[in-house]
Amino acid sequence: MTTLPTGSAVRVVIADDHPVVRDGLRVLINSIAGLTLVGEADTGTEAVRLAVTLKPDVVIMDLEMPQLDGIAATRQILRALPGTAVLVLTMFEDDDKVHSALRAGARGYLLKGALQDDIIRAISAVAAGGAVFGAEVAARVINQLADPPPTAPPPFPRLTAREREVLDHLAAGLPTRSIAARLTLSEKTVANHLSTILTKLGLATRAEAIVIARDAGLGRGAD
C-alpha cells in the first residue's frame, strides 16, 4: 500500500451519491497516515457547501450526482476556493466529460475501478499542485493533443488579408485616419479598401460592416 510523505495531513472531502463508493473511499482514506477525511457529500449541492465550510485540500468528485452535477459543483468550489484540488473519480471516460471536467478546473481524472494505490497517489499529487490522469484517460488526452482539430478558417474568406485588417480596425471603432496610421497607409487607400469591403460583403454602410465584423469576433485585438 502506498504511503504519503510525513507532514501536515491532506484534508479530503468525498462527493459521491453511491454509499458503497463512499464506504470504500472512507475505509481507504482512514487507512492511510497523512490523509484525513473531513466530510462526505451525496449531492453536488452538499459537496459545494461542505467544501466552502471545511476548506479541504482535495475533493474527490463524482460527475453524476443529484441536485448539481460534478462539473458544476467543481466549478463552484474552485470559484470559491481556487487552492482546493478536485480529483474526479467517475465511471465516465468519454471525451466530453473529460474536457468539461478539465475546463471546470479539475486537476485529476480517474475511473472508478482504479487501484487503491493509484487513488492514493492521485490524491497526493493533486494536493501538491500536480495533475493526474488514469491510464485510459491519459491516452485519450495525449491522442487529442497529438492530432488537434483543424484550425477554423478566417472570417469573411472573400476578403484579402489587408481588407480583413482594415475591417478589424473599423470594428474596433477606429476612424479612417487612425486606421491609416495604424497600417501605414494613406487615408484614400483605407477608404478604397472600405468601399471594396462593403461591395464584397453586400453591405450599404460602415455601420453594417461594424456589426457583422463584431459578430464574427473582429475588433477585439485593436486598441
Please give the Cα distance from 94 to 144 (Å, whole number).
12
| Alpha-carbon Rg for the chain in angstroms | 26
How does pLDDT run along the chain (223 residues), one tens digit per residue?
555 555 679 999 999 999 999 999 999 999 999 999 999 999 999 999 999 999 999 999 999 999 999 999 999 999 999 999 999 999 988 888 888 898 899 999 999 989 999 999 999 999 999 989 887 776 666 666 666 666 667 889 899 999 999 999 999 999 999 999 999 999 999 999 999 999 999 999 999 999 999 988 898 765 5
Question: H-type helices in the chain, by residue range?
Answer: 19-30, 44-54, 70-80, 95-104, 116-127, 135-146, 161-171, 176-183, 187-201, 206-215
Q: What kind of fold does domain 161-215 have according to CATH? A: Arc Repressor Mutant, subunit A (1.10.10)
Residue tagged 497526493 (cell numbers) = 124
Phi/psi of residue 39, nearest 5 degrees: -175, 160
Would you say the pTM of this structure is higher than 0.75?
no
Q: Hey, is 117 helix, strand or coil?
A: helix
Q: Hey, is 14 helix, strand or coil?
A: strand
Fold agreement (10-146, 161-215): no
Domain map (residue ranges) of the chain? 10-146, 161-215
What's the CATH architecture for 10-146?
3-Layer(aba) Sandwich (3.40)
